[in-house]
Structure 1
Amino acid sequence: MELSRRLYAVASLVTEGASVADVGTDHGYIPIYLMQQNIASKVIALDINGGPLERARMHIIGYNLKGQIETRLSDGLSAVKPGEVDTMIAAGMGGGLVIKILEDGREVVKSLKACILQPQSEVWRVRRYLLDHHMDIIDEDMVEEDGKYYPMMRVIHGESPRYTECEYIFGKRLLEKRNPVLEKFLHRELEIREGVFKELSHHVDSEGAKMRMTQIRRDMMIISRALGYYCIHPNL
């Protein structure tokens, strides 16, 4: 099984021997890869929709993994019992949905050793939710695929260090590691905002333009703070 760059990065956050619930499995690619590579000891592929789950089931059969990967129709973690698995994956969905899955399935989440999360939006909201609920983001990665940027994280139970605003938005672990993909993303975001700011500066008579410029100026300041992590000499 050849995974996309995004899915490969997600799968790489799973530790060897883990028992895994893949929420929103879609085609079942991650469960298949985890079993093929002998990374997971057990995988349950979950999806709320019957169509994607059937596609996953057919792919599992096609890779001769029937009996090794179980498929379940499930709204989030609803079809998983506490203690059945020690790791969950929620990848390729909005941040609000990731939070809902964690909240609705909190009894299962309490029994997990780790959560592998790859929200497609509102990543800062996910980070804040996790830290507010005594979960620590111990590792993060970010990949670029087809011009889009995908952050992902490995989370365990425990108290986390304090976060600054830019660390909530862009990822404390990514910034600490000086992740090169994040650096590219930050430069792109700064360039976009500089262009919008310049365009708006031609319309300073508009109250709406002034308000927008104030917000963009603040955004640029936060991005610049994040880029400051990349200016620290590694030997200092």
Structure 2
Amino acid sequence: MKLSDRLQLIADEINKGETMADIGTDHGFLPLYLLETGKCPHVVMADISAGSLKKAEDNCKSLHPEREYDLRLGNGIDVLQDGEVDVVVLAGMGGLLIADILEWNLAKSRSIKRYILQPRNNVGRLRYWLAENGFIITKESLVREGKFICEILTVHSGFPEEKQHEPYSAAFDYPESLLTDRNPLTDEYLEKKLAIEENICKNIAEHSRAAEVEAAICRERINRLRYLLKKQLGDAE
């Protein structure tokens, strides 16, 4: 089975011998690959949608009808026991939804050693929630999927005493950790984000106090992106 570049990068973040759960598994391609390659001795495929879980079940039966698979219908990590697996994957959903899933039962969320998160949007808000709740981002990666560049976060559950209490800022939207692995996609990613932010800022009509605040926040993100681009080129102070 060949995975997309996005799913392959997620698979590469999982260590051989780890057990994993794919929450929002849809077709089940990632956990099936991990079983087929022998990387994971046990995987859980879970989804809140019966239709999506049926797709995964059909793929399981067509690939290895003789094998037993662990498919679970339910909401988020409610389908798991505390510490039941080593790694949980939450991929292809909104950043705020990922935060909601983790927050629903924090004790259970913290019982999982590691997460691999791939939010479709609101990545900054997810980073902020993770920091506020003692979850530690240990690696950030970029990968192309079609016309999009996706962000993938490897996260350790951490401890409550490791919470950070700093105000939200553009550093959560665009952290310096994006520069650490010298990914060839980094320049393109930052330049695209800068163009988007500049367009947003240009279209904000500053005729109210709320608009002025929104414009100031947008300018902060623009300045942050320009700083990162300069640093990427090696000439930021």
* TM bucket normalised to smaller: 0.7 to 0.9
Q: Which amino acid in 1 is paired with 2:155?
A: V
1:157 positional shift: 3.0
SS in 1 for 2:230: helix
Q: Over aligned residue pairs, what C-alpha RMSD do you find? A: 2.7
Give the conservation status (yes or no) of the 8 Å contact 1:89–1:117: yes
1:231 is aligned to 233
Are residue 190 (structure 1) and residue 190 (structure 2) matched?
no
1:183 positional shift: 2.0
Q: Structure 1, residues 38-61: CA drift from partner, whole Å, max 9, x if none?
A: 111210000001111011011011
Q: Structure 1, residues 109-162: CA drift from partner, whole Å, max 9, x if none?
A: 222110111111111111111111111111111112211121011111334899
1:80 positional shift: 0.9
> For residues 115 and 68 of structure 1, do their structure 2 counterparts lie closer, same or farther at Cα, with a shift above 3 Å needed?
farther
1:44 is aligned to 44
1:181 is aligned to 185
2:104 is aligned to 104
- In 1, the alpha carbon distance for the partners of 2:143 and 2:25 equals 20
Range with greater deviation from structure 2 (153-162 or 14-23) = 153-162
Unaligned runs of at least 5 residues, structure 1 = none
Q: Which amino acid in 2 is paired with 1:224?
A: R
Are residue 54 (structure 1) and residue 54 (structure 2) matched?
yes
> For residues 160 and 12 of structure 1, do their structure 2 counterparts lie closer, same or farther at Cα, with a shift above 3 Å needed?
farther
Range with greater deviation from structure 2 (95-104 or 61-70) = 61-70
> For residues 31 and 196 of structure 1, do their structure 2 counterparts lie closer, same or farther at Cα, with a shift above 3 Å needed?
closer
Give the conservation status (yes or no) of the 8 Å contact 1:200–1:213: no
1:98 positional shift: 0.3
SS in 2 for 1:110: helix
1:200 positional shift: 5.6
1:216 positional shift: 4.2
Q: TM-score, normalised by structure 1?
A: 0.85
1:94 is aligned to 94
Unaligned runs of at least 5 residues, structure 2 = none
> For residues 66 and 126 of structure 1, do their structure 2 counterparts lie closer, same or farther at Cα, with a shift above 3 Å needed?
farther
Q: Structure 1, residues 150-198: CA drift from partner, whole Å, max 9, x if none?
A: 101111133489999444212443222233323211112223444566x
- In 2, the alpha carbon distance for the partners of 1:16 and 1:156 equals 17
- In 2, the alpha carbon distance for the partners of 1:215 and 1:142 equals 24
Q: Which amino acid in 2 is paired with 1:175?
A: L
> For residues 25 and 220 of structure 1, do their structure 2 counterparts lie closer, same or farther at Cα, with a shift above 3 Å needed?
same
Give the conservation status (yes or no) of the 8 Å contact 1:32–1:65: no
1:73 is aligned to 73
- In 2, the alpha carbon distance for the partners of 1:161 and 1:110 equals 16
2:223 to 217, 221, 232: 221
How many pairs were matched up? Answer: 228
1:83 positional shift: 2.5
Q: Which amino acid in 2 is paired with 1:138?
A: T
Q: Which amino acid in 2 is paired with 1:113?
A: K
> For residues 108 and 41 of structure 1, do their structure 2 counterparts lie closer, same or farther at Cα, with a shift above 3 Å needed?
farther
Q: Structure 1, residues 45-83: CA drift from partner, whole Å, max 9, x if none?
A: 000011110110110111116545310001001121112
Give the conservation status (yes or no) of the 8 Å contact 2:26–2:52: yes
Q: TM-score, normalised by structure 2?
A: 0.84
